[in-house]
Every structure is written in structure tokens, then in C-alpha cells.
A and B are shown apart, each in its own frame.
Chain A
Amino acid sequence: MKRPLYLLPLLALVGLRLAAQPSFEGPVPSTVPEIDEDRRRAAYVRRVDEILGWAAAGGKATTDDPAKLDLAMIAAKIVRGEDLPGCSQRVIELMREPGTGPFWMFPTVCIAYLGRDRLSPEALASIRTAWKTTRQQRGDTENHFVMYYASLYLMAELYPDESAETWYSGRSSAENFAEASAFLIKWIDTNTTVGQGEFNTSNYIGEYAIPLSFLANWSKDPAMRQRASMMLDWLFAELATSSLNGVLRGPHSRTDEGAVIERWQAMTSFFSWLLFGNTPPTAGYSGWGLYFAPLAKSYHLPEVTYRIATDRRGDFIQRDRARVRRLWRYSDELSPPVYKTNYLRHDYGVGSTTGGLIDPIQSHVWDVTWAESDPRGKHPTMFSLHPHSSSRAMQSSFTAYPEPMIKGVTFEGKPSYDSPDKLMGSSPFEQVFQDLDTVIALYAIAPGERFPHINGFFSKDLINVTEDDSGWIFAQGGRAYLAYRPLASYHWIPYLHYKSGWAKQRLNLGGRVLTSPHLNNGTIVQAAGVGEFTDFAAFQRAIRALPLAFKLDPLPAVEMTTLRGNKISFTFGTVPQVNGRAVDYRAWKLFEGPHLNAEVGGRKLTITHGRLERVLDFNTLSVTNRVK
């Protein structure tokens, strides 16, 4: 229930203007960190100006037809001081047909604030009137609520002391402000104590970063400005620790069919380009990026975060907690914890949650992804999943009636949901354990399930794919060697690519899906760096030599020694053991690793790289930097 249809014209427009977007079609940026702070900042400012120039020029290209100006273009023009009378006129026109819901609210807030002393009184009044006459829909997801309440908060502050009759909600400015403020404070408190529900999203990072940036700049309340600014730091620190060369790695609470395969094709890549400068931006700056740009120069990325994002000289593992999307039904717990692991190395990353239902439609549970020198158009990922399609699962998260729900969701930007060959989504019949760069995914699919098989993704960009007599499938992706072990017989089907979550057409770009039609099933993937072996054959010999025993009945179970020498014992439905010790997930912290650390319930995140440390303390709303 996401990304509104009225974004599509913007993206279509974006598509027409790719030639005018320099970084998108230019060479891949260097991944070598820029140590000099001034040069780094100057490069950041240039990128911001590129976005603003591109957006404003997009408007200019159609100045003969000002009706083509949209709110993002108007925002850029306001910032640049261009054609303000034309912008005012166009705002008045656009407000004659206001939208309803958070995706309309935050762009209009952007214009209302940017245009405070630049647009005509009539234009500003037209926005205010629209906020009276058009009743805004709050939505049903975490990001909807954040956008809705950040927008409502700021509009109530912009127009204080106005009566209930002047707002769509029928509540006064003070009442709107109080409600919005209470939500925002609660949301931040939840995230900083037990984690985010929509964690590590491929495409929804903007839905958080943009409202937070508005609040950080425009709220009159210094405490709210500070909270929002700190949450931006928090959000971007998470991006830094879960991306490799600017490309976000799994797992994800929510992603889409395009981003889960073409890893770079995600809004997070836009933010990586903007903040870290280490990957190309996405087409049209992912659309929403245009609303981050107007205030982007006021944001100063902490150096420690920049270093984390760009320094991949050493391996690191983060073990963090997050939350399952609200489970209205079929769960005794409203939002159970998610335990996620990210292991990042110079050439590849391995990430996972422990499986089970997370978001019923858009989750991505685990993958091994590798670095590509140019990520555009590449499919640098390997994973398996149970293609779970279930009305019951969706009822757990939605209040809609059961029967038409599966068909309905395929119309709503999730076209693959009910496809047997789909490659996105979580399943209650999948359990996963990750130890460094080894992943064991076990499946015990209930009889009668709609799709009684598992799918494994084999990219077109793999080389030397070898189905070995040992049962392992060996391959190389970038500078990563990969060994994939299906635990049951399989066959291959072609992979058909969705370019995005909205794509209706599927493209045969190459690649295959390993389909294994067995209820009790499993996958083991072991990754290693090319540099760790003399050649591919040596890697294969090492994998063949690994002690491995498994069975599928009565439940899937694996005992193996990993390439890193750890003895793993994992049976579906039980807690995995490493070297004889059960993994104690309940003891996991909110963040734990070399870069991010936070206690559950602590409201305090420590961001570390080398001797650099930044502490975001929401208990005191303070930020502390130090060099250790």
C-alpha cells in the first residue's frame, strides 16, 4: 500500500530527462574515501546543486508549458530563486486538485516552508486552503505515519492558533500539533529502544529522511529539531553499516522486485551517492530525492558515518535488532523482535534475519551480494526463499477482508506477490542462521501451501557456474567465490526481471531460478574472497572438504563446519548452535558491532570508526563527538 500513482508521472518525466542527469550516466564515482573534510563537503554541495539544477532545469525545459511544473521542480526553483511568479501561479493551479495522504502532504509542506517569503500570498493561501478542504488520509504503515505527522506538525506550527474549522481534521492548530508531536516523540522513542519496524528498506529511506530533514530545519521547537537531526544521523549510520560501495545489502524489512535483484536500483543508492559519493545516483534521484535536496546543504554528515560507509579495508559484523511489522492477527505479540546480521567484507556482504514472517509482502530475508565496479544493471546477489503467498499472512498485517486480498495486492505495486517464481517476501516456513559468510536456510513448508517449493536466485552476472558432483554449485560473482548447496533435488527455470515494484512487464535479462519442489528443504551458501585462494579450483576443493551432514526428515537439519572453522548445528524449529553453544538471540543488543552499539531500551547510539566516536543520546537529546 505504497508509492502513490501520482508519483508515476514524475518518474516518467524523470525517465525522459535521463540525458540531463550528469551523475546518473557518468562514470562510477571513486570508492576511495575523501579524507579532506573541505573537499568532501565541497563535493557534497556540488551534488546537491546538481540535483537542484536538474530539477529546476526540468522545469525550465517546459517553460513554454508551465503546467508541467510539479512541486519538486517548484521546490528547486524556489531554492534557486528562479521564476517565482511562475511558481506561485503553478502552486495555485496545483492546489485546485489537492491529493490526499502523506505523499501529498510532505511535498506541500516543503513548498509552504520554502515559499514562506518567496511565493505570493495567494499561492501560500492556496496551500493552506487545501489543508482545510481536503481530508488527509493517514495511511497504514510506519512510513505513512511519519510523513503524515511530520507534515501535520509543521503545518500546525506554521499556522498556529487557528481554529478547528480551518483544518481538514476538524481539530485546532494546537490539537493537531499536540497529536503530531506525541506521535513523533513516541516513534523516535520506540526506534531508539526496540528498533525500527521498517528497517533497512531499499526504497523507503526517503520517506523517513525527508520528513526528518524538514523537522530538523523547520520545527520551531529546538528539542524537536534536535531529535530529528539525531534521527537523521541514526538513519544514515545504519545505511553506512549495511552498504558496500554505496549499495545497500540485505536483509530488508521492505524492498521491491527490482531492488532485490538489481541491488543498486534503490533509493538508498541515491542517498549513498549524495552523502558518501561512492555510487552513481538512481534515475531522477529516485523522485523523492528532489525533496531532500532543498535542505540538504543544512545537513552535515558526521565524519564517523562517512568513514564507516566508505572504509571497507577490514571485515566487520553487526548484529542488530529491529521489529516485525505490526501483527494485528495470528500473533500474541504485536511487533516481535527481528534479529539481523550484516557481515561486510571488501568484496562482498552477507546479511540475514532469522526468517519467519516480517512484512508479509516485501521482506527480503537473506542474501550474499558482491561488489561490482559499476553496479548499474548488475544483479549481484544470491539467495533462496520460500515463495509464500497467503491470505492469512496478509491478514496478520492488514485489516482487509481475506478472500480478495491476494489478488488485490498484486494491483498495488506488488505484482509478484502471487507468482510461484517470485523472489521477494518472507515465509513462516523459513528459518535462517548466519555465521560470518555462511548462511543456512531451512524450510519446512506446510502441506497444502500454495507454493510447495523454494526458489534460489542465480544471477546472469555469475561466472563459472558449476554443478558439481558433490552436490555443491560453485560460482563466482565479482571477486567473491560462492558455493550454493541445495539440500534437495531441483530444476532450473528462467529468471524474469521486474524493473521495479510497479513494473507490469517482466524482462528476460538472463539469470536462472533454482526451483526445488520439496516441502522439507534447505540451502547452504558459503562465500569467500577470491584473494583467499590460489584459484577457483582451490576454493572448490576447500568446500568439498568441509564436514557436512544433513537430513530433511522429519525436519530439516544441518551439521557442518564452515570455511571459517566454526561447527554449526541447526535444525528447523530449534535454536542454532555454534561450536556447541546455543545462540542466545534474547541477549542481542539493539546494535552490536565495531561501528554501531546500543542497548535495548537505551535510547543511545554510539557510532564508532577507528578513533572517531559520536554518541546520539536521546535521553538528554545530546550529541557527543570525541576522538578516542
Chain B
Amino acid sequence: MQTLKLKLFFAAWLAALVGHAPLGAAAPKHDLYLSVLLSGQGQIMGGRAPALSGVYRSTDRLKVEHVGFGHIRMFQVIGDPHSADGLYLAALNGVVHSKDRGKTWRILTGWDMTEPKGLVIDPNATDHIYAGLPDGIAVSRDRGATWTRMNDGIRRSYTQTITIDRTQAGRVLAGTELGIYLTEDGARTWRLVQPTTETTYDLRQSPHDPKIFFAATTSSGALWSEDRGRTWRPIAGVPKKHTLHNGVFDPSAARRLVLCGWDAGLLVSEDGGRTWLDRTAGLPNRQIWSVAVDPDQPGRLYASPFQQPVYVSEDFGLTWKPAFFEKATAFNLTFVPRS
């Protein structure tokens, strides 16, 4: 039974990535989770908030409901492969788990692990969770019950993003202050595969070709790998002046990517990153915090311009309209399969 559940979870997960989800009026197979700051820049740690920040969920893409911690710094939500109702959250307080879709939460990490930004579960070893922390990488081998720091080989261990190679258990890439590190032994050892001058903010594996990885950085632009993250090359035509926050593959179209960042606006490539089209027109500013592609509706794109509503486009960025909130900064927009 457990094995079947896992298979269903990852089938849904892969479907999300490759765009096999039903379309049209059928109920979405994924929920959209938004980790948002709603109280503007004046919000003080521990102060009363004018608006309830934290994690929101949309099941129908029309409205959102608040889920769990109402804090200003919620960074990432991922699904739990062991339970359709399970969620993991990277939050200011640490790694947090819910077994009931956000009704109740349990903080998994202790006092010595704070502000995880990246969180990933190994699909080939589903008890294994990797968390990127400001001071390194924490690994749990028991679904979050216990954690161990595993940074061997990483200099300057600030870790902003972490992703898994779905083709091999224990093969993980981490975006750190000084570049992209790779482990092939479940974080026991790490090696630098791509140096950068400043922090790498996002790492993604193509849902269409597992050899392809994409990275967004602070000042080294966007990077591309075609050998499962062993070597990288810069992507031409992408601005480097400011931080690139997010790079996302379109699960419905093999060669389509979207990229966003501070002052970079929102860029779309239809040819696997060779050329880029600016699709910021229609958004209220060019400081795009995060972006996501809807796995249930081809062509639907979400973007979070800084301190503005979260916007939606039904034509992959040609036109935009406000979708959620009045004034938000979404740290993360993500889709979690329902089963």
C-alpha cells in the first residue's frame, strides 16, 4: 500500500512536470501554494501584522485560504510523498511538517537550524530530506525526525536553494554563496561544479530531459547544464546586473522556460534558453520575485511582482491580470499534487 502511494505521488509529480494533467474544466490535480509576505516592508519581527502573511493555498485558482503559520518569512512548500495530506514547509522557525494539509504543524528542526530556504525530498529515497540553511545543509534520513549537518567539501556554506536529480538516489545539487555544489553520495561529500561570485538563488531540473539543469544567480546570470549538473555554461541574453530569483521549465512544452528577477522582469524562452522574450509588459513593475507554471492548465503562468498582487497570465505572459492579494511578495509559488 505504501509503495503504491509513493508511486502515485511521484506519478502525479512527474505529470506536473511533463504536462500530462487533464485540461479544461476538469478539477485541477494540484494545489497552488503561495508563501507570501503581505505586510509590506514595515513588518517587524514578532510584531502584530496588518495582514496575515505566511502560506496560502488555492485549490480552485480563484481564491486562496491561509494555511498554518502566519509569519512573514515562509520560504517554500513541498508535498509529502508518504501522504497526500502531508506538507513540508521551509520557514523562519525551521523545517515544519503538516500531516493534515496545514491544519496542524510540527516543527521538525531544533534551535540550531534556522531559516531554511530550500527543501527537497529524494524521490528515490523518500525518507531522505535535504534542507539548505544559511550555515549549511541539513539532511534527515527519517522523514524529518532527526537531522544532521552534512557540508563536507563546501566552503562558505550559505545555501539558498537545493534540488535533487530524480534519476539517482542521493544525487543533489545545492546553490550556495560561492556556486553550485554537487553530491552523489547523499551529501556525505560535496564538490564545487560551478563557481559563482555571489549566491545561486534557484536550481531546476528539466521535467523533459533529466540531463538538463538550470540555475539563476545573483550576479552570474542564468546558467545551463546538459550533463546532469556536472558542467555549466552561461545562458546568453539574460541580464546579470541584478539578482535572478526563479527559473522554471514549462511542463507542457519541452523547450519553453520562464525566468524572473529583480529588474530583469519576466523572460520567456521558447527554444531551450537560446533566445529570450520579455513578457513583463502588463505587470506593474520589473521586480519579479517569483514565477510558476500551472501544470494543470497549459499556458497559465503566475508571477509575483514585488509588493503587488500576484498576477496570472493565460497566454504565457502575453497578457496579465491580478489574481491574488492586493500587495504581496511571494517567496515561493509552487504546485503540490493532491494525490
Q: Which residues of A contact B (CB under 8 A)?
A: 1-6, 97, 99-104, 135-141, 144-145, 149, 164-165, 169-171, 179-180, 182-183, 186, 326, 328-330, 332, 334, 395, 399, 401-404, 407-408, 411-413
Beyond A140-B114, A170-B106, A180-B111: 10 further Cβ-contacts under 8 Å? A101-B47, A135-B105, A144-B46, A170-B96, A171-B106, A179-B110, A330-B177, A399-B134, A401-B262, A412-B42
Interface residue stretch chosen among B3-11, B64-72, B122-130: B64-72
Chain B positions 154-186 with a Cβ under 8 Å from a chain A Cβ: 155-156, 158, 160, 177
Give the residues in chain B near A164, CB-CB below 8 Å: 106
Contact B243 A401 (CB under 8 A): yes
Is residue B314 contacting chain A, with contact meaning CB distance below 8 A? Answer: no
Complex Cα gap A413–B43 (Å): 10
Closest to A187 in B: B111
Contact B107 A171 (CB under 8 A): yes
Q: Which residues of B contact A (CB under 8 A)?
A: 40-49, 68-72, 92-94, 96-97, 104-107, 110-112, 114-115, 117, 134-135, 155-156, 158, 160, 177, 199, 201, 218, 242-243, 245, 262-263, 287, 289, 306
Contact A183 B199 (CB under 8 A): no
Closest to B134 in A: A328
- Minimal beta-carbon separation of A335 from chain B (angstroms): 10
Contact A102 B262 (CB under 8 A): no
Complex Cα gap A288–B48 (Å): 17
- Minimal beta-carbon separation of A393 from chain B (angstroms): 13
Complex Cα gap A136–B96 (Å): 13
Give the residues in chain A near B93, CB-CB below 8 Å: 135-138
Q: With A137-B71, A407-B41, A411-B41 in contact, is A402–B218 under 8 Å at CB?
A: yes
- Minimal beta-carbon separation of B111 from chain A (angstroms): 4
How would you classify the secondary structure of chain B's contact residues: helix, strand, loop or mixed? Answer: loop
Complex Cα gap A102–B46 (Å): 6
How would you classify the secondary structure of chain A's contact residues: helix, strand, loop or mixed? Answer: loop
Closest to A395 in B: B199
Contact A135 B218 (CB under 8 A): no
Contact A5 B44 (CB under 8 A): yes
Q: With A135-B71, A169-B106, A182-B110 in contact, is A404–B47 under 8 Å at CB?
A: no
Closest to B176 in A: A329
- Minimal beta-carbon separation of A186 from chain B (angstroms): 8
Counting chain A CB atoms within 10 Å of each CB, which of B134, B245, B262 scores highest? B134
Complex Cα gap A402–B217 (Å): 12
- Minimal beta-carbon separation of A40 from chain B (angstroms): 37
Contact A5 B92 (CB under 8 A): no
- Minimal beta-carbon separation of A395 from chain B (angstroms): 8
Complex Cα gap A165–B92 (Å): 21
Contact B45 A2 (CB under 8 A): yes
Contact A140 B47 (CB under 8 A): no
Contact B47 A5 (CB under 8 A): yes
Within 8 Å by CB of B44, from A3, A97, A136, lies A3
Closest to A332 in B: B156
Give the residues in chain B near A136, CB-CB below 8 Å: 93
Complex Cα gap A543–B48 (Å): 54
Closest to A397 in B: B134
- Minimal beta-carbon separation of A156 from chain B (angstroms): 13
Complex Cα gap A138–B95 (Å): 13
- Minimal beta-carbon separation of B53 from chain A (angstroms): 10
Complex A-B: 20 CB contacts under 8 Å? A1-B44, A3-B44, A5-B47, A99-B47, A101-B46, A103-B46, A104-B46, A145-B111, A171-B106, A182-B110, A183-B112, A186-B111, A186-B112, A332-B156, A334-B135, A399-B117, A399-B134, A399-B158, A401-B243, A401-B262
Contact A403 B262 (CB under 8 A): yes
Give the residues in chain A near B218, CB-CB below 8 Å: 402
Closest 4 pairs (CB-CB, A-B): A101-B46, A170-B106, A4-B47, A183-B111
Contact A399 B47 (CB under 8 A): no
Give the residues in chain B near A103, CB-CB below 8 Å: 46-47
Complex Cα gap A169–B49 (Å): 20
- Minimal beta-carbon separation of B139 from chain A (angstroms): 19
Within 8 Å by CB of A402, from B46, B92, B105, B243, lies B243
Q: With A99-B48, A329-B177, A412-B41 in contact, is A140–B115 under 8 Å at CB?
A: yes
Contact A140 B92 (CB under 8 A): yes
Give the residues in chain B near A329, CB-CB below 8 Å: 134, 156, 158, 177, 199
